[in-house]
Chain A
Amino acid sequence: MISGARSAVAGVLLTGISSGVFPADDWNLKTLMSEMAQVPASRTRFVETRHIALLTRPLELKGSLSYERPNRLSKHVQSPFDELLTVDGDTLTLANTKKVTTLSLREQPGVGALVESVRATLAGDLAQLERHYRVQFSGHRAAWRLQLVPRDAQVKGAVDSIVLAGAAARLKRIEIAETGGDRSVMTILHDGK
């Protein structure tokens, strides 16, 4: 993780050179990540639309997301059913009205990749993000976009790409394209501001 002005400057220079981003634009992947890394915790609401090839109309899910540094993330679906997905370190806990299941993240490549894409982004952990994905950054501070393409063959079998979009240190939208043609779009609502 980047900390301190010197390494931040070095990071700016390095990414500026390597990704060929216009030098005048001082907002890029590194700065996005270091801004993200300043956020200790967040709590948001979301609306997720799932387009499932099997169905003639999409499913709409509503609930809340919360993140706590360094690696605790939870997604609470409240409608149309109740399901709480919590990831803490490597342990994933899935609780619905019927039962609670605990498993290791790496057991479920699809879920694992999905979690890591959001969690590493919220953590501002570029190294972790790049371990799982080829990352492409575009946009500017007020409207940035990260396109993630999985590296692992097994994850590739489940997920085509994940697109994260936001403004400054706020994640506003997650789009997941699955290999089977299914797709989900999650819109994240930041209360107050």
Chain B
Amino acid sequence: MWEISVGNKRPLLAVALWLVVLAFSAWQLARTRVIADLGAFLPPSATPAQQLLLEQMKSGVASRALLVALGGAPEERLAAASGSIAEELRASGLFAAVQNGGAEGLRADREALMSHRYVLSPAAAERFGAQPLRAALESALAELGTQAGSALRKVLPRDPTGELRRIAERLPAAAPAKRAGVWFSADGKRALLVAETLAGGFDALGQEQAIRTIREAVPTTDITLELSGAGVFAAASREAIEREAWLLSLVSGALVLLLMLRVYRRPRVVALCFVPVVSGLVVGVAAVSLAFGNVHAITLGFGATLIGEAVDYPSYACLNAAPGESLSRALARIWPTLRLAVLTTALGGLTMLLSSFAGLAQLGLLSMSGVLVAGLVTREVVPALAGPGAIAPRAFAVPSLVALRRLAPLIWVLAAGAAVFLYLSSNTLWEDDLAAMNPVPERLKAADRELRRELGAPDIRHLLVVRAPDREAALERAEALEGKLGELVRRGVLRGYDLATRYLPSAAEQKRRLAALPDPVSLRKNLEQALRGLPYQRGAFEPFLREVEEARRRGPLAAEDLRGTALGLKLDALVLRTGVEWAVLVPLYGVSDTRALESEVPVLDLKAESERLLAGYRREALRLSALGMAVIVLALALGLRRARGVLQVVLPVALALLLSMAVLHLVGQRLTVFHLIAMLLVMGIGLNYALFFDRPEEDPAARSRTLFALYVTCATTLIAFGTLAFSSNPVLYAIGLTVTVGALAAFLVSASFGRR
């Protein structure tokens, strides 16, 4: 390739250009916004149903619910704390609603239901004839003396036919047990609250603020607070990611630094080795920030892995230098191999960049640009900085890997075994739970399941989605399902359902109900006839007559009338705008006969849909990986210019991939797209090993130097990715573990298959 001589102006130019790019990148970095929106790592959606699913996961009401449990104190104190916390949270302005089972939270709802009872109750008017009124008044008379009677006495003059009670009975009641007036867990040890944030569930910063407010509202320190919900996950992951991104980068950087110092014993050379990696990181992050307008915290964490890769580039040259040889000369000698190594890794990144996941595309861009920059800096800048002096480190005794050659047959056997194992376990190989894609530690997820169970929040799996061009049409269609759903409940196909039109009937239905209400004169006449002979005071039911007339005059109830109540929230969750359409979601509870249900109504099975979503997404990842491999093999073919050489290099890597996949599954990993992506990294790293193991060397000394370089570079890779495997973040963990296992396998296989 290019010969570098001291008189050449090229190194100077390269250094100048490098400094300019670095300066620009640093400027870009200073303005970079780091985000932690976990949604970036959820798959993009293909169908409207999947879109709905993901939107609900990201910002649906369920995702905005923070579940709160108070413990560690006697019941009475917990109940008091529950009340004061609820009050404080309601006053904070950060929550759309706070429910703790107390009367305070339900009053607004009862008021709303009561004042709109004649549009909410399906057939109130049928009970306004003289005969049905008489029957209602007689049964009320019998009930007035009972304990329930004291409550009845207050509402009877307004609502003699018991419409409020009818409406309330139709609302799904899934509330936990109450003690001391507020919600408690079944064992009575924890008071429970649900706080609905205004911020979306994946808005980590907004959720952090809401969580802080809850923590500060806890009155005394002996009361323990447990929090869960999507928002807690978002905030916790953000914190963990930020903390770990720094910590892991520092730890792996320090470990690699120690290794290099041990190998080179000259700080100047070690510093030189870090120049490409730091340049790659700075430019890579800046490129991501430029292209996406922000950098995801996970992307930053991933940057740590670049250290393990790019720090090797100058090492290959330094460690390959013959005694007395300058760095630029040694580099020129190995550049064809190194260039191919850089290119193949960058191509692996390119395929990630093509992913439709915003998060993965960021990782791809970072690794591609970072690796390319590190490669270029190694080639052009490092030699200029190193100067013409000899670079070679003191010779180390290197254990020969010749013995490994005997392992080649064993590797074939193992690979065959791995292939059979993977084929046999193909059912459980892939993760098909969408929740597992959410990078949330399992400990938090378990706590969440527990709290949800305590709160009696049903685990919704089946959903009806009613779509229409506008809100009213969607409501009317949903309303039309009532009869069929009721019949399915009677047949025992399902236990219950939550229909939004019970809180907000369609305008057309409301008008029908209002039109059916009798005029004041006939209603009075009916009432007087019904009251004949009953011991009610004269004029006792004037409020009833007045309110029926008011209902007739006021007209239909609008969604805005329910704002600020729990019902209003429910409505927001169940009636949504999706793009240009409106959708009414009808959650179905306790479905016992899926087939019977599906034959009657079009059901969206959330679990099946999320599995389909993941499968589609996996197909994309596999397609991209295949594409990546094809491109890499093509690049190899062009670089090596001989088919046998390509096979020589690709075969060990392919076997290593197979082995590491089997090992991962054997240790209990279910493969996700993150593992696939990591496999691309493994391929890049494995190809480096294979290329260098496969390098034709002039003499045994050079051969031994190459081998030593391989030891060092493999060690740095294992350090960087091994550190990442300690992350509590599932994404970083998956990548770290996969690459650690894969790199080790690639090293061993390449050593076994490499040239003597």
Binding site for B on A (CB under 8 A): 50, 52-57, 59, 61, 77, 80-81, 83, 85, 90, 94, 96, 103-104, 106-107, 110-111, 178, 180, 182
Q: Is the CB of A81 within 8 A of B145?
A: yes
| Also in contact, A57 and B145, with CB within 8 A (given A104-B180, A104-B181) | no
Residues of A within 8 A of B156 (CB): 54
Q: Is the CB of A50 within 8 A of B535?
A: no
List 28 A-B residue pairs with CB atoms under 8 Å apart, sorted by A's residue number: A50-B144, A54-B153, A54-B156, A54-B157, A54-B536, A54-B540, A55-B536, A55-B537, A56-B535, A57-B535, A59-B145, A77-B146, A81-B142, A83-B146, A83-B147, A94-B147, A94-B148, A103-B178, A104-B179, A104-B180, A104-B181, A106-B79, A107-B103, A111-B147, A111-B150, A178-B150, A180-B153, A182-B153
Residues of A within 8 A of B554 (CB): none
| Also in contact, A52 and B144, with CB within 8 A (given A90-B179, A103-B178) | yes
| Also in contact, A56 and B536, with CB within 8 A (given A83-B147, A96-B146) | yes
Residue of B150, B156, B179, B181 contacting most chain A CB atoms (<10 Å): B150
Report B162-182 CB contacts with A as 1/0, cut-off 8 Å.
000000000000000011110
The chain B residue sitting closest to A94, CB to CB, is B147
| Also in contact, A106 and B180, with CB within 8 A (given A54-B157, A54-B540, A56-B536) | yes
Q: Which interface class (under 10, 10 to 19, 20 to 34, 35 or more) fits B?
A: 20 to 34
The chain A residue sitting closest to B102, CB to CB, is A107
In the complex, what's the smallest C-beta–C-beta distance from B528 to chain A, in angstroms?
Answer: 15
Residues of A within 8 A of B181 (CB): 104, 106-107
Report B134-159 CB contacts with A as 1/0, cut-off 8 Å.
00000001101111101001101100
Residue of B146, B156, B537 contacting most chain A CB atoms (<10 Å): B146
Q: Is the CB of B146 within 8 A of A55?
A: no
Q: Is the CB of A54 within 8 A of B146?
A: no
Binding site for A on B (CB under 8 A): 79, 103, 141-142, 144-148, 150, 153-154, 156-157, 178-181, 535-537, 540
In the complex, what's the smallest C-beta–C-beta distance from A47 to chain B, in angstroms?
Answer: 13
In the complex, what's the smallest C-beta–C-beta distance from A174 to chain B, in angstroms?
Answer: 15
Residues of B within 8 A of A106 (CB): 79, 180-181
Residues of B within 8 A of A77 (CB): 145-146
Residues of A within 8 A of B180 (CB): 90, 104, 106
The chain A residue sitting closest to B154, CB to CB, is A180
Residues of A within 8 A of B146 (CB): 77, 81, 83, 96
Please give me the 5 A-B residue pairs with the lowest Cβ-Cβ distance, nearest first. A59-B145, A56-B535, A107-B181, A106-B181, A55-B535
Residues of B within 8 A of A104 (CB): 178-181
- A26 CA to B535 CA in the complex, in Å? 48
In the complex, what's the smallest C-beta–C-beta distance from A159 to chain B, in angstroms?
Answer: 10
Q: Is the CB of B153 within 8 A of A107?
A: no
In the complex, what's the smallest C-beta–C-beta distance from B60 to chain A, in angstroms?
Answer: 31
Q: Is the CB of A110 within 8 A of B536?
A: no
Partner of B144 from the list A54, A56, A90, A103 (CB cut-off 8 Å) is A54
In the complex, what's the smallest C-beta–C-beta distance from B540 to chain A, in angstroms?
Answer: 5
In the complex, what's the smallest C-beta–C-beta distance from A119 to chain B, in angstroms?
Answer: 16
Q: Is the CB of A50 within 8 A of B145?
A: yes
| Known pairs A50-B145, A54-B144, A59-B145 / 7 extra A-B pairs, C-beta < 8 Å | A55-B141, A77-B145, A81-B142, A81-B146, A83-B147, A104-B181, A111-B150
Partner of B537 from the list A56, A90, A94, A111 (CB cut-off 8 Å) is A56
The chain B residue sitting closest to A96, CB to CB, is B146
Q: Is the CB of A52 within 8 A of B178?
A: no
